[in-house]
Structure 1
Amino acid sequence: MSADIEDPNAPIHEPRLWRDNGWTARVVKNNDDEGWAVEMYRAGQVEPALIGPWTMGRDKKNPKPLDTNAFNTLVKTAHEVVRRHEQAQHALLHKEVVLMLESGRVTVTLDVVPDEDDPHAWLAATDAEGGEIGRVRVAPSFKLNSTSAAAWVEGGCGKPR
Structure 2
Amino acid sequence: MDEHADDTPNTPDIREPRLWSVDGWTARVVKNEDDDGWAVEMHRAGDAEPALVGPWTMGRDKKNPKPLDTAAFNTLVKTAHEVIRRAEQHLHATLHRQIDVEAPGGRVTVSLDIEPDEDNPSARLSAVDAAGEALASIAVSPGFQLNRASALRWVEADFAKPR
| TM-score, length-scaled by structure 2 | 0.84
How far does residue 67 in structure 1 lie from its aligned partner after superposition?
0.6
Q: Distance in 1 between matches of 2:154 and 2:65?
A: 60
The amino acid across from 1:52 in the alignment is: G
The amino acid across from 1:126 in the alignment is: V
Partner of 2:68: 66
1:53-108 CA-partner distances (Å, limit 9, x unpaired)? 11111222221111111011111221222222222222222221102223332110
Unpaired segments of 5 or more residues in structure 1?
Answer: 1-5
Q: Distance in 2 between matches of 1:30 and 1:120?
A: 41
Q: Distance in 2 between matches of 1:146 and 1:63?
A: 52
- Aligned-pair identity (%): 63
The amino acid across from 1:93 in the alignment is: L
Q: Given the alignment, which residue of 113, 116, 135 partners 1:114?
A: 116
Q: Distance in 1 between matches of 2:21 and 2:134?
A: 46
Residue 24 of structure 1: SS of its match in structure 2? strand
Tell me how large the CA RMSD over aligned residues is: 2.0
Partner of 1:151: 153
Quick check: 58-67 or 43-52, which moved more?
58-67
Any conservation in 2 of the 1:9–1:22 contact (CA below 8 Å)? Answer: no
How far does residue 136 in structure 1 lie from its aligned partner after superposition?
0.7
How many residue pairs end up in the alignment?
156
Q: Distance in 2 between matches of 1:122 and 1:9?
A: 44
1:103-129 CA-partner distances (Å, limit 9, x unpaired)? 332110112222222222110111223
